[in-house]
Structure formats: structure tokens, C-alpha cells
Structure 1
């Protein structure tokens, strides 16, 4: 469905400790000045929700996942895995996400979205970053549909740029794709999201490395 632009805007913060990721974001998001870009830990960002790239089982044992688990406590992994079990039968597909209460005041929510199936996996030759980023924003839509205005700000890190071995420039461009799709559209389910992105990005290997791709939302759905 098209996004209702009369609803409150979402404050989007991109933050990472890797300078190369930050510089790649600044280039990719140069024409979207409303997106905040910072160098530093996601733990320093005062927002309603943090987005953590995870694996399909929700094992928070590496990368940003492990940092967040140490900060919020072991209970956060239990909540994430319970949501994965209840909503997805125990395995969260790439291109989907869960949103759970964090148990803290900052952030109030944690959105977990897999960039890989296993805890450590090279995803540099996949569309996983675009799928994960779009799914994270889809989770924001879903949470706000349940409780209007509950997520008004969100922070994301460079998805797949560390453990997943995705080059910073590719990471930034694919995250731009996920962000612009969020601006244009929200989906009834994650299956539709995955189909739409994969259909339009399946030839990305033949495109120039620096090219950004804006996914065209399906036109068959109407405004809510």
C-alpha cells in the first residue's frame, strides 16, 4: 500500500563505527538530507527503536547483535527468539523482521532482521542487505499500525558490512534502496516485500557498482 504521508514522519538515524561505511552513506544518501548520519556506536543513539542485523535463529552471538545483547541483557535474545518462534516457526527468513520490547527506556523496541541465515556468513554477493533494511522499515510500519506513533525514530547500522563482508559502497546503496521503498510503500506481508525486491534487483550484478536502484512499488494495491 502507498505510504500515507500525512502521518508523522519517521526520524531515521544511520550510525556505525566504521568510517568507510559512514562515508559511503554520505554519498548514497546525499539527496535525502532528512536522514541523519553519524559515526559511532548505536548504543549512543536516543531513539524509539534500534535495528540489529541478526541471523535466522536470532542468536545474538556476534557483531552488533552481541553488543546490544550485552547492553540490554540476555533477556533480549529470549524475546527475539520467542517472536521468531511464534511468528515464523523458529526460523526468520531474510527479508522479514520481528519487533520486540527492549525492556529499556532507550530504545523501547528492538527490531531484529536477518542479513544471513547463520551466525557468520559472507553475503556480499546477495540482495540480503536490501531485503533486511526494507524488512526493518516494514516492521516499523507494522508496529505503528498496532500502536500508532509508538516508533517515531529508529537507528540502523551498516547492515552486512562487517560479518557479512558487504563492501561499504554496496551496503550503502542497498540500504538506500530499502529506505526509499519505505518512503513509498508498505506491504501486507513479508512475502510480498521479498518478491517485489528480488524481481526488481535480480540483475543488480550487471549494473555499475555505484548505481542505486529505487524499487517501484506494486501498483495493484490501494491506499489504506
Structure 2
């Protein structure tokens, strides 16, 4: 499966290159992700399927606004009644060029509060890769910078989180912690801006 990392931001592209440069089957593009040729494209939306802002607005314009309604219906039918961060849904777009969309929320509701200090890009990327890898119809997936728009996460932190998810899901480098301290360190390395303890 080919992974296409595409974003209009030169800083996001530069950050990806720091981690993914020369990685097999990963293509980095500075440009409009909605014009990328792929089987599936990622909507880094929210837990309730609103697609009327940022990149999601462009995707709704590209595939039609009925897609948002269909997504929201599928989300409402889930046992949780929402699509949690770390989960993903695969939907048919009805488009001949890009037949599938993967919705993987990077935030519960559209907000920039606490997203930049989260590990949401890591969780969303894991969900994206699991969903794409598990469907034989998908041979290529286009993924934008995660949490870097409305969420305001620093590109280098988002890229680090996305790469760690790639290593775990695609390369099979599983997590393993001997102690609670090891788990804390792993979590902190995903986002050094995160607060583990408050007093």
C-alpha cells in the first residue's frame, strides 16, 4: 500500500521529510490533497462528522455535501453515538478517481483547545493505517497533516506522531512497557509539550 502525505504547508512537508524521507512506499507532496490520485483520502474531521470547515470543507466541495450527511448517519448508528479519536470509518465517495474516504477524527468537536498538547495525531494516524491496511480495495491513501490546521499542533510534533504510528502499524514495531515509567516516557516523547502531572 502506498501512503501519500500531502499538504499545502511547506513546514508540514519539511517536518514529514525529517521522519519519512527515503521510507519505502511513502510519497511526500507539497500541494492540494484534493487533487491527489489515490484510492482513499483522509478527512481529519471530528467525532460528529461535521465537514464544513478547513480541509473538510474542500472535501465536501470535491465529493458533494451529501457525503457529510451520510457520514453523520453512520456515526449516529455507532454504539458510542460518536466516532472516537483513535477510530476511523471508511465510506464510498461515489467518485471515479477517489472512490473512498476515511474519516478519522483528530478532535471531538471543532476546537483548538488542548489539541496541540495531545497525542491525537498519533491516535488518528493509527486508526487511518489500520482501516486502510485492512481493506484490500485500498492500494493508496492520501493523508494530510493531522491536528495542524484548527488544532494548531506544531508540524514537527504532528510528523513525529504520524511516524510513530506508521512504525507500529505498518512496520509492526509493537509497544512494550516494563514499567509505568516506560509508558510515561513513551507518551511524553510523542508530544513533549504535553503535561503528564499538574500540582
TM-score range for the pair, normalised by the shorter chain length = 0.7 to 0.9
Between the aligned partners of 2:183 and 2:149, the Cα distance in structure 1 is 22
Q: Which residue does the alignment assign to 1:137?
A: 129
Superposition RMSD in Å = 2.5
Between the aligned partners of 1:44 and 1:91, the Cα distance in structure 2 is 29
Q: Which residue does the alignment assign to 1:203?
A: 185
> For 1:139-158, what aligned pairs fall within 5 Å after superposition?
139-142=131-134, 144=135, 149-158=136-145
Aligned length: 186
Between the aligned partners of 2:123 and 2:45, the Cα distance in structure 1 is 13
* Deviation (angstroms), 1:78: 1.4
CA contact (8 A) 2:38 2:142 kept: yes
* Deviation (angstroms), 1:30: 2.3
Structure 2 residues not aligned, in runs of 5+: 176-180, 193-199
Structure 1 residues not aligned, in runs of 5+: 1-9, 186-192, 194-198, 211-224
Q: Which residue does the alignment assign to 1:190?
A: none
CA contact (8 A) 1:13 1:38 kept: yes
**TM-score if structure 1 supplies the norm length?**
0.76
Between the aligned partners of 2:78 and 2:189, the Cα distance in structure 1 is 36
* Deviation (angstroms), 1:20: 0.1
Q: Runs of 4 or more off by more than 6 Å in structure 1?
A: none
* Deviation (angstroms), 1:202: 4.2
* Deviation (angstroms), 1:84: 1.3
Encode CA deviations 1:131-186: one digit per residue, 9 max, x unaligned. Answer: 001101111134x1xxxx2111100000011111100100111111122222145x
Query: For 2:152, which of 165, 189, 205 is the aligned residue?
Result: 165
Q: Which residue does the alignment assign to 1:69?
A: 60
* Deviation (angstroms), 1:81: 1.3
* Deviation (angstroms), 1:206: 4.5
Structure 1 residues 78 and 155, CA gap change in structure 2 (3 angstroms): same
Q: Which residue does the alignment assign to 1:56?
A: 47
Query: For 1:11, which of 2, 6, 20 is the aligned residue?
Result: 2
The DSSP-based 3-state class of the residue aligned with 1:80 is: helix
* Deviation (angstroms), 1:31: 4.7
